[in-house]
Structure 1
Amino acid sequence: MQALTHTLPDTQSLGDFEKDCSFQKDDMGSGRKDLQQIGQTQSQSAMADVYAQSREKGHTRCDVNTTDWNGPDDPDNPHNWSVGMKVYHAAAPALLGFAVTFGTSVYTPAVSDVMRDFDVSRTVALLGLTFFTLGIGLGPMATAPLSEFYGRRIIYIVSTPVFMLFTLGAGFSKSFYSLVICRFFAGVTGSPALAVGAGTNADLFPLHQRALATSIFLAAPFAGPSLGPVVGGFTAQYKTWRWSQWCMIFVTLTAYMVAVLMKETYKPMILKQRAKLYGIEPVDDHSNGEKLMNAIILKVLRPSHMLLTEPVVFFFSMYTAFAFGVLFLLFAAIPYILQRPPYSFTISQSGLAFLSVGIGVILGTITCILVDQMLYQKIHRKIVAHGKPYVEPEHRLYSAMIGSSGIVIGLFWLGWCANTEQHWATCLAGAIPFAWGNICLFNSAALYLVDVYGPLNGASAMAANGISRYTFGAVFPLFAVQMYEGLGIGWATSLLGFLALFMLPIPWIFFKWGPNIRAKSNYP
């Protein structure tokens, strides 16, 4: 309390300020010292400046709203932060998400080394990828509800070091069992960067401005896996598999150093900190037990129910999960193709081949931004000019309708060029439209689900989508080599292409009949 009073040298003390409204001041040091206090220092320091400014303007504590924003221009509202501050707070979770997803594919070039070190089969060695990916998919069910209790920032600050510790344990593992267990819990503790990051973007940007930040943030689950094999290939060839884990720590530590200066962006936590700063006891209408039960329903039961009963959630989750699973399958398929004659690539050269996926991710992100700026924003301005409150969610599907064809074209291109032994560059060029279409589909589906179901149910819809995507991503690599050995390169990739062709009409169907389908939803 003395530190706060010292920030107001030319004004009356905080105790005198509180007497303006005849409030009793609670002892600020008597609150419980839990996780929440770790992430509050910087936010409270910034609020103290606002507090001092309000005193200089003659405001009293009666003028401050601790249950909602003080009007549309409230400086505590992240929507009113400067552009630079918003960009920083959107980029930090994206970097953490990149670091976590980087850990999925950086492991795959070292599979042969893991096989030799622990005397296991290729399929068993791939379990290090499978359980890490499963951890990313399942982790948000346990960790994301914590952001509703303690805010966004503390989740990043606490979970990331734990993620690095489990990664360190994986690197020092003396048995394959400990490697898999550490990799699984590394995925669980790394997942909040992806789950909570979407919420941070929602905190920072109003709905009609969210597509740009979302496009960049959603590139992380694709950029990380596309660059992981590049680094992993060199470490596997010139070092040992353990260096794949050390590289994960180096990348994560860099991202963490960027994120550590973040402020809180979650509205309820900002208001709670503001209430505490002004010595007002926050209103809490629900017990922690009730909150926990609501969080469990939100993060576990509701996503499962929506996946089974909501056509919008089911079809887009299956489509994006399939595309994501094929991306992870390529981590095993492309080395299988390129390390055989006539290409005979080394491990590091096979890793470099995934730069074609990275090019597709970049082009897909640019496409989504251009579609938003040139189509969606134009429609939004027109709708607002006519006095309508919102744009129909189906206008979010333009990127998916454009990109869905790229997935099909890319798979047939890659498969049959490799099957007929065309130049390696011609084969890898097929991965570009595949990755381009993949991120266009995912970006569009994510925006559509949130627009259809709103913030609360939209989070559950995205949770269902995330579980589906990472489950498929975990399982698909396990049968990749067996499928390519049994069907051959051309027909194995064509099987995936035909399945993608079968799913291609999904965004087009919802664009035309989406309003009628949504009208029958159980989640308004």
Structure 2
Amino acid sequence: MERADATSPTPTVNGDEANFRKYLGDGGNESAKDLEKVMSHVEERKAPEDKRVSKDLDDPMNWPLGRRVYHTTVPAFLALCVTFGSSVYSPGISEVAEKFNVSLTVSLLGLSLYVLGLAFGPMIAAPLSETRGRLAVYRMSIPLAAAFTLGAGLSQNMASLAVCRFFAGFFGSPCLAVGAGTIADIWPPVNRALATSVYLLAPFLGPALGPAVGGFAAQNKGWRWTQWPILMVLGACGLYSLGMKETYMKIILQKRMTARNGAPPPRTGPSGLTALKFLLTVTLVRPVYMLFAEPIVCFLSVYIGFNFAVLFGFFDAFPIVFGEVYHFDLGLTGLSFLGIGVGCLLAAVNVLLIDRLVYRKEYEKSLKQGKAGVVAPEHRLYAAMLGSLGPPVGLFWFAWTSRSDVHWISPILASIPFGWGNLMVFDEQGAEVLTGNTVYHQLGIAWATSLLGFISLALMPVPWIFFKFGPRIRQKSHYDTIKV
């Protein structure tokens, strides 16, 4: 849950206070007063407990409840659509290989490159949202993702299909990077659990729903119809998002100053090649540096990376188990993924209960102790600690009951604790999409799934270790961390 709980960078306006005073002019007493309110407003937003004196109605945290709920559901809806697009293609892979006369491994490029696009897109979208705002990113990404999805559905060869799928994922992924920032813009940390649970649930339901829809589409209409549902949902997302407003306070303040004075505030940040260098540093160099220099970043990256691989590796088992062992057709095989969806729904409920029963008490305790509502980040690990038990249980259960002499409901039930645990721990993309199918045929269902189970078992202590030694690890950070 850390990703959505981390607040956006403290909103500031391009330029310091002195520049704004000069820009507004000495004679504008009203503007000067407005400046004072804006600058105090910015300072107030730094407070961890988000108890601001400002009643500025332009502040997203002061919006009416209905508007904030709407701005929560838009990124969640988009995240559902984009992750749905990753797995809906899977049931059509065999037909793609046959139609384009390529191997099954090559036809998997339509899946693996889409996931790769999901990984690369946020590298551009995240810094862009800091300079141009969240709304601009949403407005740009939806039509471009739809255009390349259309191209994928109309592709006449494997090369064009692979390229279009990559860019469909690339331009669809910004909602996964910017969505958490949108949630942080409009909900104070203490009230953010429900919104975060809704937002995190969507990317997990997407991959579970994709095969269910794609299976019937590929079976009855052909592989091209695995792309049309994505296009339809993207169109619905685009229409639904038309009512969105900007939520990033920095951009809201800039627009207010421009409207009041007829010109944008003076730029004091880098521009030209300097800006490009800064962008590359922030998006490429700094993350690599942090990966090797910051222990908590390194360990979390390895942990989440392995969870990604286990998730998609497990997905490879379903067509083999339900198609080859239980002889389900494509449509019914797709429906078997819904067990993971049920697990995700249960996890969302558990996350809310943990927040209300555990984290909220820590927050109130912090207020009573005069710590301004600051809670050690380790207290956000309760869900992950509990959820780490789910994947090993589900994987070993699935591995040794996926036999023709055992009823098909058993492996479906086994996928529920797997989905439950994965959402509790929090993950979303994988790098095993090219190799998993081969591994399952070489090792067999039981041992291939058990291999994933052993990996999950080895990773299970990680959240517990972070909870125990988190403060000590944070002390070794080169960056500012929460002091409690």
TM-score range, shorter chain: 0.7 to 0.9
Partner of 2:396: 412
Partner of 2:235: 253
- Partners of 2:111 and 2:334 in 1: CA distance: 16
CA separation of 1:326 and 1:312: change in aligned 2, threshold 3 A: same
SS of corresponding position for 1:477? coil
Q: Once the 2 structures are TM-superposed, how far is the Cα of residue 420 of structure 1 from its aligned partner?
A: 6.6
Equivalent runs, 1:83-482 vs 2, <5 Å? 83-279=65-261, 281-289=264-272, 290-341=274-325, 343-389=326-372, 390-419=374-403, 421-442=405-426, 470=429, 473=430, 475-482=431-438
Q: Are 1:511 and 2:471 an aligned pair?
A: no
SS of corresponding position for 2:324? coil
Q: Is the 8 A contact 1:68 1:271 kept in 2?
A: no
Partner of 1:63: 33
SS of corresponding position for 2:227? helix
Q: Which moved more, 1:345-354 or 1:485-494?
A: 485-494
SS of corresponding position for 1:144? helix
SS of corresponding position for 1:308? helix
Partner of 1:496: 452
RMSD over aligned Cα, in angstroms?
1.9
Q: Which moved more, 1:97-106 or 1:331-340?
A: 331-340
CA separation of 1:172 and 1:518: change in aligned 2, threshold 3 A: same
- Partners of 1:367 and 1:213 in 2: CA distance: 14
Between Structure 1 and Structure 2, whose CA radius of gyration is higher? 1
Instruction: Give the AA of the match of 1:397.
Output: L
Q: Once the 2 structures are TM-superposed, how far is the Cα of residue 431 of structure 1 from its aligned partner?
A: 0.5
- Partners of 1:208 and 1:64 in 2: CA distance: 29
SS of corresponding position for 1:388? coil
Structure 2 unaligned residues grouped into runs of 5+: 1-22, 42-52
- Partners of 2:40 and 2:115 in 1: CA distance: 39
SS of corresponding position for 1:145? helix
Q: Once the 2 structures are TM-superposed, how far is the Cα of residue 158 of structure 1 from its aligned partner?
A: 1.5
CA separation of 1:365 and 1:304: change in aligned 2, threshold 3 A: same
Q: Once the 2 structures are TM-superposed, how far is the Cα of residue 287 of structure 1 from its aligned partner?
A: 3.0
CA separation of 1:127 and 1:351: change in aligned 2, threshold 3 A: same
- Alignment TM-score, normalising by the size of structure 2: 0.88
- Partners of 2:368 and 2:239 in 1: CA distance: 44
Q: Is the 8 A contact 1:69 1:77 kept in 2?
A: no
Q: Once the 2 structures are TM-superposed, how far is the Cα of residue 67 of structure 1 from its aligned partner?
A: 5.1
Instruction: Give the AA of the match of 1:209.
Output: N
Instruction: Give the AA of the match of 1:166.
Output: F
Q: Is the 8 A contact 2:314 2:452 kept in 1?
A: no
CA separation of 1:135 and 1:227: change in aligned 2, threshold 3 A: same
Aligned length: 443
- Partners of 1:291 and 1:196 in 2: CA distance: 21
- Alignment TM-score, normalising by the size of structure 1: 0.81
Q: Is the 8 A contact 1:135 1:187 kept in 2?
A: yes
- Partners of 2:383 and 2:405 in 1: CA distance: 33
Deviations 1:360-379 (A, max 9, x none): 11111111111111100111
Deviations 1:241-275 (A, max 9, x none): 11111110001111121111100001111001000
- Partners of 2:383 and 2:196 in 1: CA distance: 13
Q: Once the 2 structures are TM-superposed, how far is the Cα of residue 82 of structure 1 from its aligned partner?
A: 1.3
CA separation of 1:197 and 1:497: change in aligned 2, threshold 3 A: same
- Partners of 2:189 and 2:381 in 1: CA distance: 16
SS of corresponding position for 2:426? helix
Instruction: Give the AA of the match of 1:488.
Output: G
Deviations 1:189-217 (A, max 9, x none): 11111111111111111222223222221
Q: Are 1:22 and 2:27 an aligned pair?
A: yes
Instruction: Give the AA of the match of 2:316.
Output: A
Instruction: Give the AA of the match of 2:279.
Output: A
- Runs of 4+ more than 4 Å apart: 18-21
CA separation of 1:175 and 1:209: change in aligned 2, threshold 3 A: same
Deviations 1:294-334 (A, max 9, x none): 33222222222222222212222222222222222233220
SS of corresponding position for 1:497? helix
SS of corresponding position for 1:76? coil
Partner of 2:439: 483
Q: Is the 8 A contact 1:21 1:61 kept in 2?
A: no
Structure 1 unaligned residues grouped into runs of 5+: 1-17, 24-58, 444-468
Instruction: Give the AA of the match of 1:62.
Output: A
Q: State the identity as a percent.
A: 46
Q: Is the 8 A contact 2:153 2:228 kept in 1?
A: yes
Q: Is the 8 A contact 2:116 2:169 kept in 1?
A: yes
Instruction: Give the AA of the match of 2:199.
Output: F
